[in-house]
Amino acid sequence: MWVKKWVDYTSKYGIGYCISNDAIGVYFNDQSSILSVSNVKFVYSDLKRKDPPIHATTEEYPSELHKKISILKHFRSHFERGRRESNDSDYTDLPVYIKRWVQTRHAIAFKLSNKTV
């Protein structure tokens, strides 16, 4: 798996990205991450606190995630062009997501949760 598209909004929110399996996520400036594993389901992780990930839907989620869900929906609409629908049953475990990233003048590098760089 690899990051096939990304949009840098780190001046406001974080970096939005699309993985090669068409999952869409956001790595937020506060080091939390949200990954849309279907049009309805998502996984949220606070990478600083190392709490267990929250699996929820865009209809039923903790109220403190409202702004992050809105941002995820924004990035999803940005990346949806040409995206195929994913099968919900493909995601029983935590899917692959961006764990860290770094950008220089010449390149950007992503470290995924499956240790791919």
Q: Give the model confidence (pLDDT) of 42-99 as tens digits.
A: 989 888 887 888 899 888 899 999 999 999 988 888 887 655 554 444 444 557 878 8
pLDDT of 30: 92
C-alpha span between 97 and 37 (Å, rounded): 10
pTM metric for this prediction: 0.78
C-alpha span between 9 and 30 (Å, rounded): 13
Pair 28, 14: CB distance under 8 Å: yes
Sign of CA dihedral 90, 31, 18, 16: positive
Mean pLDDT of 19-25: 87
pLDDT of 15: 93
pLDDT of 88: 46
Q: Which residues contact 64 (CB under 8 A, 6 or more apart)?
A: none
Q: Tell me whether residue 9 is exposed, middle or buried, using C-beta atoms within 10 angstroms of its C-beta: 0 to 12, 13 to 18, 19 or more.
A: middle
Closest CA to 96 of 73, 78, 71, 116: 116
In this structure, what are the phi and psi dihedrals at residue 77, rounded to the nearest 5 degrees?
-65, -35
User: Domains in the chain, please, with CATH?
Assistant: 3-112 (3.30.1120.30)
